[in-house]
A and B are shown apart, each in its own frame.
Chain A
Amino acid sequence: MTIRLVSIVAAIGLWWLLSLALTATVLPDPVQTTATLWGNITGEGVTKDLRITLFRVFGGLALAMLIGTAVGVTMGLFRKVEKVLDTWVVIAMAVPSLCYTLVCFIMIGLNETATIVAIGITAAPTIAINVWEGVKNIDTRLMAMARVFETTPLRTFTRVVLPQILPYLVASTRFGLGIIWKITVFTELIGRPNGVGFKLFYWYQLADMKQVLAWTLLFTLVMLILEFVVLKPVENRLFAWRPKVAS
């Protein structure tokens, strides 16, 4: 815990030193930024934009996890599916997120559905590859054991396969959250009249770096809370059976 604290304090110190070297219009110092952030929070508008962005983030994440897990699991379990899809997953991953966003906006319209579909589709291939990798690492010796006991395919999936790929699913969620937040902000900048991404761009155009950093800090804090209040406890609960590796 102390190590974590020291590293955070050091990073803030570095930020502060850098802000001394640059003017406040280029890089405001931590105190100014925090003051602006506090002003935003106690004022109006923050919750509305934050809520809409989080809604898009979780909508996109749910869609990406759904597609990514389905594709990844079937690719890992069935060699034929793997052969059909492996090139496409790589192609899907290579397409820039801007293309998905533009295509979705044109095909579906400038609305929430298009936004969430664009976010979900952009992140899905990366998650699919992650899950696919996890399923390929399944212990075949345990699968043989299940077969000897005549375990049904469904039961084999829930009791033998799922616990083995769960670490990959949790890692994918965490990792997916990271990329999806970036995609969401970007998508908002292109085609939405609200949300954190819109606000960032708005303040950037007004050259107000204090606000740009304040909004960035706000979202970083939200992600930190998500990690330590939601993801970590869920992970600890799910993997309580595992022997501790690091001390």
Chain B
Amino acid sequence: MNPTPSPPVSAAFTVRDLSKRFAAAGTGEPVTVIDRMNVSVAQNEFICILGPSGCGKSTFLNILAGLDPHYEGRIEVHGEVATGGRLPIRIGYLFQEPRLLPWLTAEGNVDFALASCKVPRERWQARKDEYFAMAGLEKFRGHLPHQMSGGMCQRLALVRALCVEPDLLLMDEPFSGLDELTARRLRVDLLDIWNARKKTIVFVTHNSYEACYLSDRILVMARGALREEIRIDVPRPREYDDPRIFELNRGVVRKFLEIAGDA
């Protein structure tokens, strides 16, 4: 894929020549995880990074999240270059597992995030009321994580990520550990929430249908680089079973196999 020549004015962030290498344990040989990646993501755009395991997509998210400060290249946010690994914007991150603090109630977990992000205390109640309602979790505010199902825990993790009102929401295969029915419900709810509260989302997945249903644009990643860009022009709001999405998905799967399969 060609590098984006000049980012659109409304770019949420732009990545230029991003590379990530490290010395392999034992042999010390350099391993390239991400190789000169270029991408620009527009404000409020929903992009999916589709790739097989080990293609570097999670590493990319960790770099964006500031969890991995050792990389080459630049990340620009509104023309400002990120230094010290952290983007100068608020990040929300939904991991593959909920990563809740098991000794705190649902509400306590959200409070933890609100306090950590230094959200003024007088706003907590309104935020919590809003996002707990959106996720359908009002009745579970006093529950401990182990008293909730896997799907509900992931919903709670989503509430926690949204409550701090991030400028950029990163999602790392958040529904891959759930059963298909639960995952499907969560995908639909995620789009509803996104329609109501626009946000820039980078969603990493290996599920092509999920990518087609959710995103504005799919970036196919393989062997540490972006190989293909696919625009999803299905108008919103979308139906989960929209035949156009099925049709698009067939093409995406074909492309995906072509790119990821020729290793």
Chain A interface residues toward B at CB < 8 A: 141-142, 144-152, 155, 159-160, 163, 241-243
Contact = CB atoms under 8 A, between A and B. Distances in A.
Contacts of B253: none
B86 to A, nearest CB: 8
Nearest to A238: B103
Given A144-B67, A147-B66, A241-B144, A155 B99 contact: no
Nearest to A146: B116
B93 interface: yes
A21 B113 CA distance: 68
B65 A148 contact: yes
Among B97, B102, B104, chain A packs the most CB atoms within 10 A around the CB of B102
Contacts of A241: 102-104, 144
Given A144-B67, A148-B93, A151-B116, A159 B101 contact: yes
Interface in B53-106: 65-67, 91-93, 95, 97, 99, 101-104
B9 to A, nearest CB: 28
Interface residues on B, range: 20 to 34
Contact of A163 (B91, B101, B117): B101
Interface of B is mostly: loop
B25 to A, nearest CB: 15
Contacts of B93: 145, 148
Interface string B133-144: 000000000001
A76 B171 CA distance: 30
A136 B112 CA distance: 23
B140 to A, nearest CB: 15
A30 to B, nearest CB: 44
A146 B95 CA distance: 12
B231 interface: no
18 contacts: A141-B97, A142-B99, A144-B67, A144-B95, A144-B99, A145-B95, A146-B116, A148-B66, A148-B67, A148-B91, A148-B92, A149-B116, A150-B117, A151-B116, A155-B116, A163-B101, A241-B102, A242-B102
A207 B40 CA distance: 88
